[in-house]
Structure 1
Amino acid sequence: MTDLPIPSADINDALDLDLDADQDAAETTTQEPRLWRDVGWTARVIKNVDDEGWAVEMIKDGEPEPALVGPWTMGRDKKNPKPLDTNAFNTLVKTASEVLRRHEQQLHAMLHKEVLVATASAAINVTLDIIPDDDFPYALLTAHDEDGVQLAQVQVRSNFTLTKTSASAWIEGDFRKPA
Structure 2
Amino acid sequence: MRVARLIALALAFSGGCISAAPSKAQTFFSTPPTKITLHNPSKTEGQRNRTTLSIAIPVHAGASLRGIKLTQLTNLYQWDWRPEEPSLYTGPYALRGEGEKGRARLKSIDEPTALNIVLGPPGQPGEQVNIVMRGINPKAGIYQWSVELIPDGPDPLTYSGPTLRLDIYENEPFY
Q: TM-score range by the shorter chain?
A: under 0.3
TM-score normalised per structure 1: 0.22
TM-score normalised per structure 2: 0.22
More relative contact order, 1 or 2 (CA 8 Å, 6+ apart):
2
The structure in which a higher percent of residues are strand is 2
